[in-house]
Amino acid sequence: MKLHASLLVAALLAVPAMPSLANTPAPAKAAAPKPDLAAGEARYTAMCAACHGADGNSGSPAYPKLAGQHPEYLAKQLQEYKSGKRANAVMQGMAAGLSDVDMKNIAAWAASQKPKSGFAKDKELVSLGERIWRGGIADRNIAACAGCHSPNGAGIPAQYPRIAGQHADYTIAQLTGFRDGVRKNSVQMTQVAAKLNDREIRAVSDYAAGLR
């Protein structure tokens, strides 16, 4: 019996210890590749510059300024145009042939451009726009725009877009689209815009155009 016991102990000692799962390091995640600004500029110049301006500062109020916009926001919008979540026949056609890498490159390049300042044009509405932007409309539970888009309109990266200096006519169109159910890719903005009348939309859009 002693011999058998000795052989058993020897056999157990010869078996390598199993590694503890708790101490096994998790595999390192591969770092996401950095956007290629040169590739982004080339794509932007070929596909976007005609409407949005050579440097992302659109000269037409029909098209938004993209310069200085948060890249995460721009890439998200391109993805949602491609998927149809955000409806626009022209932009859906443009985004259809873009890969996720293309979108990130374009967004990064546009974000790297210096935005040009805008200005408010309607002196009669600017004070109303400022009140809504800074304080909302408490008795109708309308939140202040500054809470998400910041007091100076710079927005919050990866969450809320830059609005400062944007064409007032473009912002009016977007807020009206949210309110009327035409633009459907932000529940939060739909809820806010649903409570605004045309005059308030014009006022806050014009005020935002003059922020810098």
Regions of the chain short of the pLDDT cut 70: 1-30
Write down the pTM of the prediction: 0.84
* Confidence (pLDDT) at 34: 95
Residue ranges per domain, the chain?
37-111, 123-209
The pLDDT, as a whole number, for residue 156 is 96
Q: What pLDDT is stored for residue 15 in this prediction?
A: 46
Domain 123-209, CATH: 1.10.760.10
- Do 123-209 and 37-111 fall under one CATH topology? yes
CATH number belonging to the domain at 37-111, selected among 1.10.3720.10, 1.10.3470.10, 1.10.760.10, 3.20.20.210: 1.10.760.10
Neighbours of 22 (CB within 10 A): 5
Q: How high is the pLDDT of residue 13?
A: 47
